A and B are shown apart, each in its own frame.
Chain A
Amino acid sequence: MIGTLAHAAPYVGYVYPNETDIPWGVLIVIYPYITGLVAGAFIVSSLYHVFGMAQFRPVARFALLTAVSFMFFVPVPLLFHLGNPQRAFNAVLTPHWTSAMAAFSYVAGFYICLLLLEIWFAFRADIVALSKTTSGLLRTVYRVITLGSDDVSPRSLAIDHKFAFLLAMIGIPAAGGLHGYVGFLFGSVKAREWWSSDLMPVIFLLSAIVSGIGLLIVLYVAYSKFRKVQVDDDCMKGLARTMWAFLLVVLVMEVLELLEMFYKGLEGIDMVRRLIQGPIWFSMLIQWGGSIGVLAILTALIVFKTKGKSLVTWLTVSGLAMMVAVLAMRWNVVIGGQELSKTMKGLLTYYPEVFGQDGLLVVAFIFTCPFIVLWLTTRLLSPWEPEGPTPPKTRQPEPRWPWTISPRVSKPPRNPPKTSRNPRSPRSRA
């Protein structure tokens, strides 16, 4: 009981007595945030794999690894939050289909499988090569991951490419579904004035993409510094433009939502105003200040055709700022919605714990894990182009339909394992 008292939320005005025990804390802030990063990273990889935007080639495979590393940790904050995590599978085994939440395990499970499959197809040639060039335990690991398929003939690689393309295509609606679902989870709660909005899924999805692009920019630059290689200018320009476009749309949506809410001025709108001026003013400032600031920087970068080092610097700053702004947006939605009392006559203030199951330390730990997993994954499967002159960018990403299997080599295997299997050898002989 002392525990429950310790995190009872202070309030002003009149709130229902049970509301002082705020149900969803920082763990549920971080959950849609991580989901959003996954969706955003995946979209960038799809821009290359499906839409054939060649400038994203340097980060396309890295984006896939980023997406899957973060996706593994999407369910973790939810499990930490549950009162009875050991019963989590009740929702899987006996889903109650009128509940949006019942779909979570299926949507997330499907998405993880899809990501893993796509990664396998995108990296298969590398895995086969590595299984032949490494030794010891690593060799066994790579051999297992080949799943017994070590054919790297041009025809086989073409099939790989087509499957990766098909999966990336399915992945776009799946990513949309995964994050649209999160938005629906909040938007469909009619009891919460601050959540109950038809625009909520759209806003969640678009802001997710923006934050994911931000994450990818930061990670790509960090990895490039670490690897001491040049950051690809075209790729950065492409990321800047994509982030700009999505950010613009999400800002329009968010402005529209607030505008509609205040213009309609339904009962309790005064309390909404006081919520924005009160408990969430600081996070609102970060969300809106950050978003508008980043939009201004990106606009300037695009207008002045900035490139080179200053593009890298400013875009990294923008990426980081966007990640923080979207995190603040998640806070404003999840926490803000609960700080506005269901009576519409009072406001609560949520103070996160530092220690404890629903505390900041746990959240920090959960959020660190995907970075560690990503680092390990990139050690296992390097998503980067081999050193040396960058391959011509026009060659790769022709979006050919997967059902027209042609023997043309779309991507030559790196480190061709055996000369006899080298696709180029017959041609050289001829």
Chain B
Amino acid sequence: MSNQDTNVGEDASDLSRRSFLRIFGISATCAGALVSAGNLIAKGQVAEPATDPPPKIPDYDWNKHKWAFGVDATRCIGCLRCVEACKAENGVAQDAHHFRTWVERYVYLEGEDKPHIDSQDDPQNIAASGSEKEFRFDNRYKDARVEKAFFVPKLCNHCTHPSCVEVCPTGATYQTKDGVVLIDHSYCIGCEYCVQACPYGVREFNHVLGVTDKCTWCYHRITKGLLPACVEVCPVEARVFGDRNDPQSPISLFIRNNRVEVLKPETGNAPNVFYVGIDKEVS
């Protein structure tokens, strides 16, 4: 009753409230349109990450796993499906300056000591693929006398002693119990000290979110029993992934049955990506 009373008694204020609501509604609609347009533009640049940050994972105990990665460079054919899959799976910026994984091509020509090295972000390769969103190695050595050539896939080494984690001023980047190095995007301040500290150049800056990004070994997939996207799509099994706690896992067998090496062991970072078939020039 008192409500009615005040409504009757305050027609004028009701009117102004109505007009206020109308104006508010219009401006809210406009703002919403602007925001969604902004989002569309943003989406054009970077696809939404599949899961970010990783949600609470049912039926997963990170104390029970010890993940590791293997790369058999003798098998890699440089098809770059891994790069494509990674960008799609993880919403990595679709340009030639942001990669969570990439493939390097080493070519020794006859009579030369040093290899010619390039990766998919080389301008000639981009010209060959026609766009920075597609990945292809061009055929530049078609008429050259090649003595030795091979491909080397690269990705985050998820080091046992990660220098990126060491330098992070907030602890936004951290090591999980199962041996994966992750970044909390809601806590990263975007100082890029970790980008500097990584000896392998695997960290890239997400200019949309203002935070650092990098390979997570597809943590959202592996914790559900799936393989990382790059491993899943590799047609020649050059990429191997598994749990070192399981002696029969692909990675345990890979490490046991091969003479493996790691990149830049002198840094003391103790990487967990193990390589077979790389060359002294690979760093």
Chain A contacts to B: CB under 8 angstroms = 1, 3-5, 8, 13-21, 23-24, 78, 81-85, 87-88, 90-91, 94-96, 98-102, 104, 185, 189-192, 338, 341-345
A98 touches B207 (CB 8 A): no
B193 at the interface (CB under 8 A from A): yes
Interface centre among B94, B120, B188, B190, by most A CB within 10 Å? B190
**A-B residue pairs, 5 tightest by C-beta:** A83-B190, A83-B210, A16-B201, A96-B171, A101-B169
27 contacts between A and B (CB under 8 A): A1-B46, A1-B95, A4-B97, A4-B207, A5-B97, A14-B117, A17-B97, A17-B98, A17-B99, A18-B98, A21-B97, A21-B204, A23-B195, A82-B191, A83-B205, A83-B209, A83-B212, A84-B188, A84-B189, A84-B211, A90-B189, A94-B170, A99-B168, A101-B167, A190-B199, A338-B196, A341-B201
- CB-CB nearest in chain B for A195: B196
Given contacts A5-B95, A102-B169, 6 further A-B contacts (CB under 8 A): A8-B95, A17-B120, A19-B201, A84-B188, A85-B189, A104-B169
**A342 CB to closest chain B CB, in angstroms?**
5
- Kindly list chain A residues whose C-beta atoms are within 8 Å of the C-beta of B212: 83
Whether the Cβ atoms of B192 and A98 lie closer than 8 Å is: no
Q: What is the distance, in angstroms, from A242's C-beta to the closest C-beta of chain B?
A: 34
Q: How far is the CA of A192 from the CA of B163 in the complex (A)?
A: 12
Interface residues on B, range: 35 or more
Contact of A18 among B197, B201, B209, B268 (CB under 8 A): B201
Q: Is the CB of B93 within 8 A of A1?
A: yes
Nearest CB on A from B53, distance (A): 15
Q: 1/0 per position for B132-149, CB-CB distance to A under 8 A?
A: 000000000000000000
B148-171: CB near A (< 8 Å → 1, else 0) gives 000000100000000101111111
Total number of A-B contacts with CB less than 8 angstroms?
150
Are A95 and B99 touching (Cβ within 8 A)? Answer: no
- Looking at the assembled complex, report how far the CB atom of B153 sits from the nearest CB atom of chain A, in whole angstroms: 12
Residues on B with beta carbons closer than 8 Å to the beta carbon of A99: 166-169, 193
User: Could you mark each residue 97-141 of chain B with 1 if its beta carbon is under 8 Å from any beta carbon of chain A, else 0?
Assistant: 111001010000000000001111100000000000000000000
- CA A87 – CA B201 in complex, angstroms? 25
CB closest chain-B residue, reference A345: B117
* Interface residue ranges of B169-199 to A (CB < 8 Å): 169-172, 187-193, 195-199
B192 touching A23, Cβ below 8 Å: yes
Closest Cβ neighbor of A268 among chain B residues: B283
Question: What chain A residues lie within 8 Å of B207 (beta carbons)?
Answer: 3-4, 83
